[in-house]
Structure 1
């Protein structure tokens, strides 16, 4: 018997190779079951029908404790209740979606949002994380930096849409998240929130290239004057994101 041989024509190298193949096949099987637990598409992209799953193709249900209390389970086989205001441009998996109706509020493309819980994001102490600066005493604008409060808000069409009246701060990350903008004057004045990432502060004004002045009135609102929920954050961010493509029809056309 040759050195390294087990029996006959089977040697140690073959056993190690077969063991690796079995291990690798088992690893793929494990990962394919796990990736269906969260995030993996379980429905046909064209027909919307659910793919058949069972004990051999799906990992067991796992429970996750939530910081606000309660649990979330995955997989849960739940679908979003909202109606997607879009349609595919063609009948093939992965086809681009075309907005139906108001593209700014369709919730697709750059204006897509996640259906997060309609509750405020909380700090480690259980307090609302994003609040207006007027409600906290230990926050302010650094001396020497421009203070946007009182500045006019100039939209993508070069027209003034409103005036910044307040700043909303992230008390956990210690930064400005939103600018509160007053639209109109007198009793008809309304307040909307402008994400700080879409605002350019300088030269005595706040520039917002993403949307037009007439579109500020349709910015999704918030339920309370001093708090914002996770879902409201998503909706507001999505609206300004949608404006990058849909605010003006010319933005959807090729550059050349």
Structure 2
């Protein structure tokens, strides 16, 4: 007798449905595993009390390190990410496990909370083609200039959140790749410190030739972190400076920490 066709005893529709279910289940597990590359294992009191024996990561576990081939990164493709040592900078706000952490000192200078920054490479980001430092002042960026229809902030007075003038704009830092203004370089006094203020955290008043920085007070602007080199900024410095000024919206004054009502 001729053998029966396999489709006579197989429900193709059910087989396709079950195959889809298995595929979708595998996809969910894969995505849940991949999203644990950042933030896991969790910082937990259980880990501290057990001397590192208990790892709070849930299921599925944290995946093995992934290899990334970066164009301008001199480090090996697989490395242990550098974590900042926050010992002595934070303390639990309450006695229960998982309580929020409270800054012990100056959170803006310590780089905690909204002022946190990543330990990125301490080298400048570079352009793709010429491999030149990407974010530089106009004095070091040949061929770059401010559009004629836009106000030129150089020479304008910078006013902090408390209404105190902190200096004048000495130069404009541009992104060579994006043709975009990233920072304004503020000279705090003749021959004094040069502080970089993020462009997104200031407001220019061309009529009165003033620039308002509402995120920080005058004292905080004068104490802001600055790049090590006069015409370059590293990836780590870029993160730290931006986080410092952004955190002032919460930390600049005691009144900003409390509720509005």
Q: TM-score range by the shorter chain?
A: 0.7 to 0.9
For the pair 1:51 / 2:65, whether they are aligned, the reply is no
**Which structure has more strand as a fraction of its residues?**
1
The superposition leaves residues 22-81 of structure 1 with CA deviations (integer Å, 9 ceiling, x where unpaired) of: 333333333333333x2151134444556278xx8454543111111445556x554504
How far off is 1:96 after superposition?
Answer: 3.2
**TM, length-normalised to structure 1:** 0.83
What is the CA–CA distance in structure 1 between the aligned matches of 2:113 and 2:127, rounded to whole Å? 31
Q: In structure 1, the residue corresponding to 2:67 is in which secondary structure? A: strand
Structure 1 residues without counterparts, runs of 5 or longer: none
Match in the other structure for 1:195: 198
Of 154-163 and 40-49, more deviation after overlay is shown by 40-49
Q: In structure 2, the residue corresponding to 1:62 is in which secondary structure? A: coil
RMSD: 2.6
How many residue pairs get matched? Answer: 243
1:12-23 alignment, distance < 5 Å: 12-23=12-23
For the pair 1:255 / 2:252, whether they are aligned, the reply is no
For the pair 1:149 / 2:154, whether they are aligned, the reply is yes
For the pair 1:120 / 2:124, whether they are aligned, the reply is yes
For the pair 1:41 / 2:45, whether they are aligned, the reply is no
What is the CA–CA distance in structure 2 between the aligned matches of 1:168 and 1:107, rounded to whole Å? 23
How far off is 1:108 after superposition?
Answer: 2.9
Give the 3 Å change call, closer, same or farther, for CA 47–144 of structure 1 in structure 2.
Answer: same
Give the 3 Å change call, closer, same or farther, for CA 149–107 of structure 1 in structure 2.
Answer: same
What is the CA–CA distance in structure 2 between the aligned matches of 1:81 and 1:108, rounded to whole Å? 10
What is the CA–CA distance in structure 2 between the aligned matches of 1:230 and 1:207, rounded to whole Å? 26
Give the 3 Å change call, closer, same or farther, for CA 104–60 of structure 1 in structure 2.
Answer: closer
What is the CA–CA distance in structure 2 between the aligned matches of 1:191 and 1:40, rounded to whole Å? 35
The superposition leaves residues 7-30 of structure 1 with CA deviations (integer Å, 9 ceiling, x where unpaired) of: 8xxx55544444344333333333
